[in-house]
């Protein structure tokens, strides 16, 4: 499989966990990375790791970053009035006349809505059942419209629950915050952060303008099965079992339980030559344990 060029200059709009993972991979591949954050402390931390960082509200700094970027990845979540990345990047692209080779927008599988345990594919109607999902649908549409209007190579990536070092059932079991919620028939996929990042770079190497990809693992699994498996692997007792409306259940966890669906990654495999390094939660957790 081909790789992005060594001259890669990645601009990440959204310097959070996923954005930082993508920036690290860009550097590992011989490129450079610049990330945005409104938080001065976060920008300082990013600079401490050797990355360029900027305030997305600093138009002059954003113009300079856009002019240098060969690829742009938008990981910032949508707000009530749309995607903050689109609102700032499209004017910057217009002002500078920049033309990056690739733009990736990170969406969510919440855009599919509930499938009552059935399969969801990229060309299915988007029936978001939550405010978060509806905002993702709008942001996807706005980015695709901008791509068509400006002749840009825009790709959409729909991700399910992300996990990885520091953010996994293992960590919640260790710190005592883990809970088991049983909802009969509820099922969904997940994806290791490294596999999501690998999907972005596979797309840079094989771009398909206007295409949407679901990046997920190969094995849809109920959350309680994953948590019990993680507890067994750590030789710990199962965490407390609670109802979905228990105060100890986070809002994010409730959102995941709102929908039940199986996700297919067949398009990403066929068109991008991508394969998840961690095809199920078992391999992903085992890798974090050093197995």
Contact between 115 and 260 under an 8 Å Cβ cutoff? The reply is: yes
User: How many domains does the structure of the chain reveal?
Assistant: 1
Does 174 map to a domain? no
- The residues, any chain, with a CB within 8 Å of residue 241's CB and separated by 6 or more, are 179, 180, 181, 182
What is the C-alpha to C-alpha distance for residues 46 and 26, in angstroms, rounded to an integer?
A: 14
Domain ranges, residue 197:
9-162+191-218+261-278
* Structural tokens at position 235: 């030789």
Instruction: Identify the pLDDT of residue 6.
Output: 53
Mean pLDDT of 247-255: 77
**Is 223 a domain residue?**
no
Q: Is the pLDDT of residue 124 over 50?
A: yes
How many residues make up the chain in this entry? Answer: 291
- The pLDDT value given to residue 259: 87
239: nearest Cα among 221, 258, 226, 250: 226
Q: Which has more pLDDT, 126 or 252?
A: 126
User: How much is the pLDDT for 142?
Assistant: 98
Rounded Cα distance, 287 and 274, in Å: 19
Task: Compute the average pLDDT of residues 150-178.
Answer: 96
* Rounded-to-integer distance, Cα 142 and Cα 87, Å: 10
Average pLDDT over residues 104-133: 94
Is residue 241 domain-resident? no
Give the pLDDT confidence score for residue 1 in this predicted structure.
43
Question: Element (H or E) spanning 33, and its range?
Answer: strand 32-36
- Comparing CA positions, the residue from 79, 30, 84, 20 lying closest to residue 52 is 20
* pTM score of the predicted model: 0.94
Q: Is residue 286 part of a domain?
A: no
Q: What is the CATH number of the domain that holds 32?
A: 3.40.50.720
Q: pLDDT tens digits, residue range 187-212? A: 999 999 999 999 999 999 999 999 99
Give the residue from 1, 31, 33 showing the smallest Cα distance to 206.
1
pLDDT of residue 291: 60
* Host H or E run for residue 26: helix 17-28
Residue 146 lies in a domain: yes
Q: Label each residue of 156-212 as H, E or C.
A: EEEECEEEECCECHHHHHHHCCCCECCCCCCCECEEEHHHHHHHHHHHHHCCCCCCE
Can you give the pLDDT at residue 2?
47
Query: Directed axis angle between helix 193-205 and helix 17-28, to 10°?
Result: 50
- What's the pLDDT score for residue 250? 76
The CA R_g of the chain, rounded to the nearest whole Å, is 19
The answer to whether position 53 is within a domain reads: yes
DSSP string, 106-125: EEEGGGG---TT-EE-TTS-
Residue 118's pLDDT band, with cuts at 50, 70 and 90, is very high
Q: Are 32 and 22 in contact (CB under 8 A)?
A: no
Beta-carbon-side half-sphere exposure of residue 213 (alpha carbons within 13 Å): 33
Any domain includes 274:
yes
Q: Are 285 and 166 within 8 A, CB to CB? A: no
């Amino acid at each position: 499989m081909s790789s992005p060029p060594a001259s890669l200059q990645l601009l990440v709009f959204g310097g959070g966990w996923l954005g930082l993972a993508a920036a690290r991979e860009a550097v590992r591949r011989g490129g450079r990375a610049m990330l945005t954050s409104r938080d001065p402390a976060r920008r300082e931390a990013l600079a401490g790791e050797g990355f360029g960082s900027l305030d997305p509200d600093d138009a002059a700094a954003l113009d300079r970053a856009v002019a240098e970027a060969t690829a742009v990845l938008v990981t910032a979540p949508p707000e009530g009035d749309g995607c903050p990345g689109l609102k700032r990047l499209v004017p910057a692209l217009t002002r500078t006349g920049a033309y990056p080779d690739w733009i990736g927008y990170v969406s969510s599988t919440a855009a599919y809505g509930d499938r009552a345990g059935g399969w969801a594919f990229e060309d299915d109607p988007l029936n978001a059942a939550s405010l978060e999902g509806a905002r993702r649908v709008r942001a996807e549409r706005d980015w695709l419209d901008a791509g068509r209007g400006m002749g840009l190579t825009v790709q959409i990536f729909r991700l399910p629950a992300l996990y990885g070092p520091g953010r996994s059932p293992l960590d919640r079991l260790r710190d005592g915050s883990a809970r088991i919620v049983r909802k009969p028939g509820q099922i969904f996929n997940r994806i290791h952060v490294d596999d999501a990042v690998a999907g972005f770079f596979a797309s840079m190497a094989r771009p398909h303008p206007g295409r949407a990809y679901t990046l997920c693992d190969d094995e849809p699994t109920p959350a309680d099965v994953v948590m019990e498996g993680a507890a067994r692997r750590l030789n710990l007792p199962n965490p407390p079992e609670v109802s979905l409306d228990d105060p100890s259940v986070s809002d994010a966890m409730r959102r995941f339980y709102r929908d039940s669906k199986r996700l297919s990654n067949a398009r990403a495999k066929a068109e991008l030559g991508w394969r998840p390094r961690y095809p199920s939660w078992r391999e992903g957790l085992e890798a974090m344990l050093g197995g």
